[in-house]
Amino acid sequence: MQICSITIFYILILIGCLIERNSARTNQNSSIDRRIVRGRDSEQDWPFYVALILDHVKNKLHCGATMIHKQYILTAAHCLHPFDNRPRHEWPVALLGDFHIEGPKTQIQLVDFKVYPDYNSDPQFTKHKTIEVHDIAVAKLKTPWTKTKAVISICKNQEPNNKYTIIGMGITYPEFNSCHPKTLQESYQIEDKVSPDCGELPKAKATEICLKSSPENYCSSPATCDSGSPAFIETRKSNKRKAQCVYGIHAHAYGDCTSMGSIYMRVSDYQDWISLKIGDMSDGRDCLKGESGGCLYATGLLN
């Protein structure tokens, strides 16, 4: 009887995944698609997106990340902090390539990472979960990733935009935790600059931003395993989309169809620390590039 119950459970999960995928195909042009959660298949490649995987054979998704230098990525601190005292072969591996289509990807090992020093220094507690503060980390790849236009710059402190593109590969249907998309998902979100908190998620620090579903993407949200994935500004010209800069790194969400919002770390607030850590991990050989092409030093000024 127990074996039969387990079998039925997994059959239900499989049916749920199939329903979700068929529904997404049927409703690709509707305002509510069951992706990222309830987003849509990405229309194009965003080459700065990086997947962090744990199972190097099955490519088990752990978190997302963002390429800010040909050899350095940003992600959430809680994606890497648990591995701080573990051997390197147990660390997540970076998976890179064109995620908007199915196909082979490239694996590159991490050789070092730095978690923000005040990470989780003042955790906030809600009835649903614990919210870590300063949830951001930078990691170094073993070898550079030389794909063209794979690096995205960091947005300046004051950006006029209020609408951001979010991408990720996390679960697309929260009722069935095994349903991961086959291709990169995307949606649009807007920043809530008025509310003191992000729904039931507390905004503990000024470096945290709250993004919520935009009207045309009602009920979209980052999902489980989307931690570390970017929110970025894009421009459109002659129907061509171009990523301009990364605004936030995803830290916390409920991962369901609500309007409560998601917490992102505002990357520009950490650019001085990021630049210093890249310098530390490269013995001064590498630096974070500014929009003018010069190094972005600890002063936060472009050279």
In this prediction, residue 222 carries a pLDDT of: 58
Question: Cα separation of 58 and 55, whole Å?
Answer: 5
For residue 129, give every residue at least 6 positions away whose Cβ sits within 8 Å of its Cβ, in sequence order, or none.
252
For residue 250, give every residue at least 6 positions away whose Cβ sits within 8 Å of its Cβ, in sequence order, or none.
64, 76, 166, 168, 222, 226, 227, 228, 229, 230, 231, 262, 263, 264
- Tens of pLDDT along 181-208? 678 888 888 888 877 777 667 776 788 8
Which domains occur in the chain, in start order? Answer: 47-152+271-281 (2.40.10.10)
Phi and psi (nearest 5°) for 217?
Answer: -130, 45
| Residues of the chain with confidence (pLDDT) below 70 | 1-40, 56-59, 101, 121-130, 157-161, 170-181, 199-200, 204, 214-224, 254-260, 290-294, 296-303
- Tens of pLDDT along 107-128? 999 999 999 998 876 666 555 5
In this prediction, residue 39 carries a pLDDT of: 54
Write out the two tokens for 7.
């079998």
Q: Could you tell me if 203 and 266 are in contact, meaning their C-beta atoms sit under 8 angstroms apart?
A: no
Coil, strand or helix at 93: strand
Which strand (E) or helix (H) includes residue 10? helix 2-26
Looking at residue 95, its amino acid is L
For residue 283, give every residue at least 6 positions away whose Cβ sits within 8 Å of its Cβ, in sequence order, or none.
none
Phi and psi (nearest 5°) for 165?
Answer: -90, 130
According to DSSP, residue 134 is labeled S
Report if pTM > 0.85.
Answer: no
